[in-house]
Amino acid sequence: MDWTAEAIDRLRAFWAEGHSTAEIGRRMGISKNAVVGKAHRLNLPARPSPIRREAEGEAASRPAPQPRRQPGAMPAAAPSLAATAPLRDAAPLRRLEASAPVAAASVVAPAPQAMVVRPFPRASTRSCCWPLGEPGTPDFRFCTGNATPGKPYCAEHASVAYVRVRERREDAA
């Protein structure tokens, strides 16, 4: 993967939109590993992980990482059972109470330095969050309409977002 400025920008955009790493990978034609790897390297804000890594105390409970494939190398010596667990600096790891369906963060401005990531790009909870334009492009933005009560979209976009499943003919074979 050639991580051009544009590619990174797109990654940031997709990431900010809350797409899954696999989805981003599909969209960009790369593996999810590449996505998550790069995101991690870019220090992009980790989105709620389904996994809860050990919290300080439990660090030792993990049986030490398995040795990974080593082409030419020999199996070195016996893994001196844990005991060595480095226990790196206590990771912040505050358990986020998950909740709001990860709304898109500011995707817009390719701002070089001051890229403030707002948790909520919408003016208020009452404005439509329908995305407009291609993520990562300068013109990407959100619909500015008023969201209908109880929905994240304006009436217009809500009608697009929520499709009646029952559209099917009843003659289904």
Partner DNA sequence: CCCTGATTCGC
Partner DNA sequence: GCGAATCAGG
Give the footprint of DNA on this chain (CB under 7 A).
1, 3, 19-23, 30-34, 36-41, 46-53, 62-63, 65-72, 91
Q: How far is the CB of 34 from DNA (least distance, A)?
A: 4
Show the tokens assigned to 47.
């989105």
Toward DNA, which CB reaches closer, 62 or 126?
62
Show the tokens assigned to 44.
């992009």
Q: How far is the CB of 44 from DNA (least distance, A)?
A: 8
Angle, CA of 137, 140 and 145, to the nearest 5°:
175
Whole-angstrom distance, CA of residue 145 vs CA of residue 79: 61
Toward DNA, which CB reaches closer, 89 or 170?
89
Toward DNA, which CB reaches closer, 39 or 147?
39
Q: How far is the CB of 88 from DNA (least distance, A)?
A: 7
| CB contact at 8 A, 83 and 72 | no
Q: Determine the residue type at 98.
A: A
